[in-house]
Copies of this chain bind each other. A is one copy, B any other.
């Protein structure tokens, strides 16, 4: 299975062209849209989101992960093997948390370049062919070389910021819920939020935090939008009160 984690959107031409390449390279392999609206051009919040959601997929899944503001510049293209899954994408911090949380991770730099490499769409021209080859168990066309990816030791293990806002206005943080005490409260935009088990456990209109279905601390309002109610955006800080 190949899972796409990008900021490309689905309606325009980008994801479709990536999928066309994947279907040709790895015929019959299911391609799943995991996120098409990952934090646009922001590898840091995207890295926490990817680590939380990539871990949900079964062994041997190839995660094609592209949040790549430096496309066409000199950042490297990499393959990561972490916890029995493959990750393919740009070396810009996007794989920092995946790598850090894995017991052992191996990393390679992709030396191969296609005959026609556009300056702005490496997702289609470079990363998709490599991901497709991995998905069918073939090494990429030219052997990648073991490499160290750029590391970001200053990034925390859990990020006390909003990393994603979903279509319902729920705001995911970069905090794993199991890093918080059960009774922990969060201070967000001047409000104090208690934990709830799920939406229907909170009174309508009340803000709360809960452990979402992929283990992240998420801020929500039963029958309301947390983002507009609290003025939240990607990067908004949250504070843990114990």
Contacts and interface: CB of A to CB of B under 8 A. Distances in A.
A124 B213 contact: yes
B119 A210 contact: yes
A119 B209 CA distance: 13
Nearest to A53: B13
A44 interface: no
Interface residues of A, number: 57
Contact of A212 (B41, B57, B120, B214): B120
Interface in A123-147: 124-125
A152 interface: no
Number of copies: 3
Given A17-B34, A24-B58, 20 more contacts: A1-B24, A8-B167, A10-B36, A12-B35, A12-B167, A13-B53, A13-B214, A16-B33, A20-B57, A23-B32, A69-B200, A73-B201, A119-B210, A119-B211, A119-B213, A120-B198, A120-B212, A121-B212, A121-B213, A125-B213
23 contacts: A1-B24, A9-B11, A10-B11, A10-B33, A11-B167, A12-B35, A12-B164, A12-B166, A15-B33, A16-B32, A16-B35, A20-B57, A40-B167, A71-B200, A72-B198, A72-B201, A73-B200, A118-B212, A118-B213, A119-B197, A119-B211, A120-B198, A125-B213
